[in-house]
A and B are shown apart, each in its own frame.
Chain A
């Protein structure tokens, strides 16, 4: 093949050489005829001809077609030539270039910032080996309004493991906290109770020592052994290898350290520092089927999908419900990938916001295309001349696309800077609750690839529109008519881009508007207590140090000491602080209940005397729980307004009896109705029955070990109490650790974090989009006015009034806006539903939002139209006409 080819090309060369030889002979003869001597004539002929070998080579290339390498080289030469040409052109109009690069940078920056976060949280690997296979089996109560996640009991977890067929491994991880009281000040340390198979499931080998033995896992209540996280080991034990075998005190009890885990693994809770066998809880707790306090984690068997596993667990749950009708009524197990558990609804929010950033980028892109179209029109003459000179359509198109790419590349550089900075600011501003600890936002390869992809799409897109328009222009006919037909196309295209910009901006505005309304509704929720003033912390009084009888006097003493401080106006205790964990729920029966099935699920709160006064929770009826209730024979309860409204409609519940926890006995007398307190979140509709109601009983009658204390400071900020509280508690008992301490207002802020985050980003993006759309509209109208100077001049010369001329331009602008508004409204109606999950107190189709947003956009558009319209009225007819 090769040889044939060579022969062929040699033959071609011979032919060409023969042609050239003939030419040179004839040319020399011609010169001789002019009286030049033969030798000199031949020299001149050759000189005029140029390098024969080079010409032969060129002809050979033409005849043979170009080889791949040569083709690439020509393309590369052409590309770098185009790039140089584009850069020269852009440098000639620095104003245009600056605006274009900044606009693109803004759009690319927004998308890059959000993508960086999405990439870090959704795409990058979990902190587990083959983490995508890890799922959580979440025990849930299958309520009519949707499953409510509750946890699993130890026997339930074992049943799941034995009865399921979809998992390579199943194990238990029960998040808990320990109070570490040896080797330093008492410290609350997050930890996990784990069961057999746990470390194997995560493919974790200990960095030091060993993991737990089968016996330690299996024999209840005997082997008090623990494994430390690398973090805790380094922090508290200075990385000393001698820690293995050492005894540490957890809640004043001795435990033996048997191992240290490798760095980076902190359990399913992502912050666990201590691991202990589940069996240390003791036989009784492990046997209780109704005590659902565990998390269950599993690794999917090879080839099993989450859907398959869910179907498997559904049949397991059905069989369990059959076997244990009481404990397993309406109990299901949800199979949820680990990533979804960690990200929760933040995942959807991030995607919605990425979409919003994408819309902003589209608006920026449309603006660039419009700018390029204007430029292309301004360069009409250049294009026509280049076409006439034989520049092919392809070459013209390549030139425009290159210009788009050069702009996009500069924009991408700016965008990458803005985006990296933005992502950092974003994560700093992002409430900790929204992103799990393993998410580290930093620019990496996927982010660079993403930016490059965005840049290429934008560059090609932005270059194609004006390029196609320019290349389409036929050179036949006169320059003028050519120009005008091209201009009509350009202005139609520009109009279309402005319309889409307005539509996209409107779409973003609607989103921002809905989030604003939702946020203000959330901020407007009355939590039912004086959250701005109060400060709270939690304590755990371990059994080893405090007998049941000692609890009351101990807590009374502690509260008294706190109240004695000048900084503290009042202090009160409770089993659970609103919006901090530690709720417990059980069932109650009304006096007229005839069977067990009439039970009502409710949350019970044990509260100290003065609780209602200190918290600032108003009584709706009757009296609060007070100091006398702890000693009287009568059992009393205060019920929430929601409970009263739902179960005592039209009646006065005060004086009535309810049966808490059991239908037997004398029951509790309702002494008062308190305003609803938002204990679990701000937004669930308790009155509507989407959450269970609340009942208060005297703490003194049912003292518990994990308790909350809330203080009302006398003056100044609630946060100033941290030091006071630590000091008092340490004085009282140095082995008690203060935990979950801080102003109650922080918990409320945590509740609105997602709404504020979504609002902030959507508001920023929509604001930028509106500015870009308005600038785009202004640009197009200003350009149109500039082009119609002559026409306007003629009109004015013929006596058109200024207001009419102005109205003409404004009308043109408003037509574009109206088109954009209609399109945007349609899109918003369709897209609004994606926000539904994040909206509170406002429907996706909210008339107020729509009205305000449309008004805003129309107003901004009118403003953008007014300036060029006014300029049009200042056209000087004589000058404008002379110019043409």
Chain B
């Protein structure tokens, strides 16, 4: 189970970050994550949907069916107030984590 912590936590954080400014549909969220992480996080794309639904269940995201610019029906996900707060917390945690990793790497390297 240990390995999936990184994945789940990170993916959720990335999703929250992606919809921070404006609600997006699943495809757009996935695309943006792929592009911003330049494919480093080689995720199974399907994992996006369980993550989205989990975040919605937690109340951090809200969803709504809307028309896309191309006139197709799609479900858009946006940040709730709670989600915005969590994003801030999670970002701090993330910073702490990267700090920790860097500290660990730095120590063992020196």
Chain A residues close to B by CB (< 8 Å): 15-16, 18-20, 22-23, 26-27, 30, 48-52, 54-55, 58-59, 62-63, 78, 81, 85, 381, 384-391, 475-480, 482
Q: Does B40 contact A (CB under 8 A)?
A: no
**Which of these, B5, B26, B30, B54, contacts A62 with CB under 8 Å?**
B54
Chain A residues whose C-beta falls within 8 Å of the C-beta of B54 in the assembled complex: 62
Return 20 A-B CB contacts under 8 Å, by A number: A15-B75, A16-B49, A18-B75, A19-B26, A19-B75, A22-B26, A23-B30, A49-B44, A50-B44, A51-B46, A59-B53, A381-B100, A386-B2, A388-B9, A389-B5, A390-B10, A476-B92, A477-B96, A480-B103, A482-B96
Report B72-110 CB contacts with A as 1/0, cut-off 8 Å.
Answer: 111100000000000001001110110111011000000
Are B45 and A58 within 8 A (Cβ)? Answer: no
Tell me if A22 and B25 are in contact (CB < 8 A).
yes
Contact across chains for B96 and A62 when beta carbons are under 8 A apart: no
Can you name 6 extra interface pairs (CB under 8 A) apart from A59-B49, A385-B104, A480-B103? A23-B26, A23-B45, A381-B100, A385-B100, A389-B5, A482-B96
The complex places the Cα of A390 from the Cα of B93 at a distance, in Å, of 9
Q: Is the CB of A389 within 8 A of B6?
A: yes
Contact among B9, B46, B48, B53 with A63 in the assembled complex (CB-CB below 8 Å) = B53
Cβ–Cβ < 8 Å partners of B44 in chain A = 48-50
Q: Does B12 contact A (CB under 8 A)?
A: yes
Q: Is the CB of B97 within 8 A of A385?
A: yes
Q: Is the CB of A62 within 8 A of B57?
A: yes
The answer to whether B45 and A391 have CB atoms under 8 Å apart is no
| Contact between B100 and A479, CB atoms less than 8 A apart | yes
- B59 → A minimal CB distance (Å): 13
- Select from chain A the residue with minimum beta-carbon distance to B70: A26
- B50 near A58 (CB under 8 angstroms)? yes
A292 to B45, CA, bound (A): 95
Whether B45 and A81, one on each chain, are in contact in the complex, defined by CB atoms closer than 8 angstroms, is no
Does the CB pair B75–A54 fall under 8 Å?
no
Query: Smallest Cβ distance from B77 to chain A, in angstroms?
Result: 10
Could you tell me which residues of chain B, from 32 to 73, have a CB within 8 Å of some CB in chain A?
Answer: 44-50, 53-54, 57, 72-73
Q: How far is the CA of A475 from the CA of B6 in the complex (A)?
A: 15
For B73, what are the chain A residues with a Cβ–Cβ distance below 8 Å?
A: 18, 22
Nearest CB in chain A: distance from B65 CB, A: 8
Closest 9 CB pairs of A and B: A390-B9, A388-B97, A50-B46, A389-B5, A55-B46, A26-B27, A58-B50, A50-B44, A62-B53
Contact check, A19 vs B49: say whether CB atoms are below 8 A apart. yes
User: Which residues of chain B come closer than 8 Å to A58, judged between CB atoms?
Assistant: 49-50
Q: CA–CA, A50 to B92, complex, Å?
A: 32
Pick from A30, A55, A85 the residue with the most CB of B within 10 Å. Answer: A55
Residues of A within 8 A of B104 (CB): 381, 385
Q: In whole angstroms, what is the CA distance A75 to B72 when docked?
A: 41
| Contact present for B27 and A50 (CB under 8 Å) | no
Which of B26, B45, B100 makes the CB contact (< 8 A) with A388?
A: B100
**Least Cβ distance of B69 to chain A in Å?**
12
From B5, B9, B12, B72, contact of A22 by CB (8 A): B72
A388 with B96: CB separation less than 8 A: yes
* A476 CA to B75 CA, complexed, in Å: 34
Closest to B103 in A: A479
Given contacts A381-B104, A479-B103, contact A388 B74 (CB under 8 A): no
CA distance in complex: A479, B93 (Å): 11
Chain B residues whose CB sits within 8 angstroms of the CB of A48 once the complex forms: 44-45
A475 adjacent to B96 (CB under 8 Å): yes
A22's closest neighbor in chain B, by CB? B74
Whether A20 contacts B103 by the Cβ 8 Å rule is: no
Instruction: Using CB atoms, name the residue of chain B closest to A389.
Output: B5
Residues of B within 8 A of A (CB): 1-2, 5-6, 8-10, 12, 25-27, 30-31, 44-50, 53-54, 57, 72-75, 89, 92-94, 96-97, 99-101, 103-104
User: When the two chains form their complex, are residues A476 and B27 in contact, meaning their CB atoms are under 8 A apart?
Assistant: no
The answer to whether A479 touches B96 (Cβ under 8 A) is yes
Hey, which chain B residues are within 8 Å of A22, CB to CB? 25-27, 72-74
Asked whether B49 lies within 8 Å of A55 as measured between CB atoms, the reply is yes
Q: Determine whether the beta carbon of A475 is less than 8 Å from that of B27.
A: no
Query: In the docked arrangement, what's the CA distance between A787 and B58, Å?
Result: 41
Asked if residues B53 and A49 are in contact (CB atoms below 8 Å), the reply is no
> Do B5 and A391 touch across chains, with their CB atoms under 8 A apart?
yes
Chain B residue nearest in CB terms to A12: B53
Q: A381 to B12, alpha carbons, bound, how many Å?
A: 23
A20 with B47: in contact, given A388-B93, A475-B93, A479-B99 (CB under 8 Å)?
no
With contact pairs A30-B31, A390-B8 given, residues A50 and B45 touching in the complex (Cβ less than 8 Å)? yes
Contacts of A50 in B (CB 8 A): 44-47
Query: Measured between alpha carbons, how far is A58 from B57 in the docked complex, in Å?
Result: 13
B98 CB to closest chain A CB, in angstroms? 8
Contacts of B96 in A (CB 8 A): 384, 388, 475-479, 482
Q: Measured between C-beta atoms, what is the minimum distance from B43 to chain A in Å?
A: 9
A391–B53 alpha-carbon span in the complex (Å): 19
Contact pick for A20, options B8, B49, B94, CB 8 Å: B49
Closest to A392 in B: B5
A63 and B57 contact, CB distance less than 8 A = yes
In angstroms, Cα B10 to Cα A58, docked, is 19
Q: How far is the CA of A62 from the CA of B50 in the complex (A)?
A: 7
Contacts of B26 in A (CB 8 A): 19, 22-23
Q: How far is the CA of A478 from the CA of B96 in the complex (A)?
A: 6
Q: Which residues of B contact A386 (CB under 8 A)?
A: 2, 5
Residues in chain B near residue A62, CB distance under 8 A? 50, 53-54, 57
Chain B residues within an 8 Å CB radius of A385: 97, 100-101, 104
Give A386 to B1 CA distance when docked, in angstroms: 11
Q: Complex Cα distance A23/B2, Å?
A: 29
Would you give the shortest CB distance from B34 to chain A, in whole angstroms? 10
Residues of B within 8 A of A482 (CB): 96
Q: Could you tell me the distance between the alpha carbons of A390 and B46 in the complex, rounded to whole angstroms? A: 20
Interchain CA distance A62-B53 in the complex, whole Å: 7
* CA A726 to CA B103, docked complex, whole Å: 89
Q: Is B101 a contact partner of A390 (Cβ separation < 8 A)?
A: no
Which residue on A lies nearest to B74, using beta carbons? Answer: A22
Given contacts A22-B25, A384-B100, contact A49 B46 (CB under 8 A): yes
A41 to chain B, nearest CB (A): 14
